[in-house]
Amino acid sequence: MKPMILLLAGLLWSGHALAQSATENCPELPPGTDLGWDVVNGPDFVFCKAIRASDGSQAFAVMLGGQSAFRPTRELREESAEIDGHDVRWYRGEVATRQNVLVRETRVELGRRNTAHIVVRADSEDLLAQNRRLAEGLRFRAIAVGGD
């Protein structure tokens, strides 16, 4: 029985360690928020969803990788902002299956080989502005982008 308990404890601990290392690849969340990361690691990207602990809703998502499929279009320009010292422009987006969802997205160039594509979605202008401000509080870690 004791070896089984030790094996189970080892598996649980390694799962905990994997969860911790996965979130280390995501940017630092703004301090003083109830946000946590839900992370998906791909072969050449990390997808980080900022989830509210209070209700499980998503505030925003960040896709980190060498390439971004997001191509900003001038006529969809909206707000200007700064994220971790980088000047950015937010662009309107859409969700094809939900016409009433408000979307903003931006791209942050993180060195020569890395980008962050950030997407904010909300059902109201107030929540969109709140989620956008949270995303603007991100801080990128060197480990998240692999450095230059």
**pLDDT digits (tens), the chain, 148 positions:** 443 333 333 333 334 333 444 577 899 999 999 999 999 998 889 999 999 999 999 999 999 998 788 888 899 999 999 999 999 999 999 887 787 899 999 999 988 778 999 999 999 999 999 999 999 999 997 744 444 4
User: Are 58 and 47 within 8 A, CB to CB?
Assistant: no
Q: For the chain, what's the residue count?
A: 148
**Answer CATH for 2-145 from 1.10.10, 3.40.1000, 2.60.120, 3.30.70:** 3.40.1000
Indicate if the alpha-carbon torsion angle 63, 86, 143, 131 is positive or negative: negative
Per DSSP, the three-state class of 94 is strand
User: Are 121 and 102 within 8 A, CB to CB?
Assistant: yes
At residue 9, the pLDDT reads: 36
Per DSSP, the three-state class of 68 is coil
| Residue owning tokens 């000047």 | 87
Q: Phi first, then psi: what are they for 125, rounded to 5°? A: -65, -40
Strand partners, 39: 48
At residue 101, the pLDDT reads: 93
d(CA 141, CA 139): 7
Domain segments of the chain as ranges? 2-145
Q: Write down the pTM of the prediction.
A: 0.80
At residue 18, the pLDDT reads: 39
At residue 15, the pLDDT reads: 40
